Amino acid sequence: MLMLEKLSRRERRPPAKPADVVAAKFAAAILQFSADFLKTQRFKHALTKGEEREGPVRDFLKENLPDWSGVVSGEVVDPLGNHSPQLDVMVFDRIRNIPIHAGGAAILPAEALLASFEIKSVLTKAEVVDSLKAATLLRSLRPFKRPLIREDRGQTSRSDQCRYFHVLFAYHSDLSEADWLGCEYTRFVETARQSKLDPSSIDRIYVAKRGLIHPARNRGVSESGDDGLGLMNLFSHLLNFVVRENGNRASAPYIQYFGRLGTGWKNLR
């Protein structure tokens, strides 16, 4: 079998277009997201609407991420007692790590979280502000009692250093479809500046049937109708990140969360 590393750079380049079965898969996911979003419009109770809104994204990730991936909702806590905001979707390695609390809302140790999603029905300026605040709080966690890495891992990175991949996912935007990509990016950057919040705290912004924005690189890709191009790019970035990051990171040190267990013991002799 010809090994990939023996191929030339030209030979390693992917084809210009995705395989038909891949394109069909993401186009179908877009249609499903649209159908599920329409269903939530009939719900008046915010909690019910939120659950219905998050479910399709969780189901999509459970179906398509590697078998070792756990996909849950809840929050994250670090060894110092700092808590994240409520996260609509959290991705972790369920083979190597377990939630501190499992149930309808899971609690993960900060060392276990790989990626997270905040999911909105409609992306507005107010929602952008809320998402930036939540993402900033998430970035303040200290897994392994160390600050999060902000840049790509270098050759000297340590296994007790962590990066997170945080996505702002929306079913719709209140901005016009005309030049949506540029307008949404400008609104995001300006809102972050006005709010004095760090735009790099959000790694990707995705709006169904609109496209995907990569804020740190000032780039984006449009999604035309149901072609699923933005979702395909988002999933590719997410998959590459969680596989690479998980391989570089040590398992969660659960002993750090139990305190000094030797305290209180008595000699019985």
CB 229 within 8 A of CB 221: yes
Q: Would you state the pLDDT for residue 99?
A: 93
How far CA 136 is from CA of 85, 124, 243, in Å, comes to: 10, 18, 24
Pairing of strands 204-207, 165-173: parallel
Hey, what are 183's tokens? 């307008």
CA-based nearest residue to 88, from 47, 51, 143, 61: 51
CA-based nearest residue to 134, from 168, 185, 169: 168
Q: Which CATH class is domain 17-148+162-251?
A: alpha beta
Q: Would you state the pLDDT for residue 32?
A: 63
CB within 8 Å of 3: residues ≥ 6 apart: none
- DSSP state string for 15-64: PSS--HHHHHHHHHHHHHHHHHHHHHTT--SHHHHHHHHHHHHHHHHHHH
Q: What is the pLDDT of residues 120-156, one digit of tens each?
A: 989 999 999 999 999 999 999 999 999 998 877 666 7
> Which residue do the tokens 């007692």 mark?
81
CB within 8 Å of 248: residues ≥ 6 apart: 153, 157, 159
Q: Would you state the pLDDT for residue 67?
A: 94
Q: What is the 3-state secondary structure (H, E, C) of 132-162?
A: HHHHHHHHCCCHHHCCCCCCCCCCCCCCCCC
Q: What is the pLDDT of residues 35-85, one digit of tens each?
A: 565 555 543 444 444 566 788 889 889 988 999 999 999 999 999 999 999
CB 74 within 8 A of CB 99: yes
> Which residue do the tokens 């499992």 mark?
102
CB 197 within 8 A of CB 148: no
How far CA 85 is from CA of 89, 133, 144, 150, 254, in Å, comes to: 12, 9, 19, 19, 21
Is the model's pLDDT at 222 over the cut of 80?
Answer: yes
Is the model's pLDDT at 89 over the cut of 90?
Answer: yes
Residue 66's CB is within 10 A of a number of other CB atoms, namely 11
Quote the CA–CA distance of 268 and 34 in Å, as a whole number: 65
Q: Would you state the pLDDT for residue 21?
A: 53
H or E segment at 124?
A: none
Backbone angles phi, psi at 155, to 5 degrees: -65, -20
CB 114 within 8 A of CB 242: yes
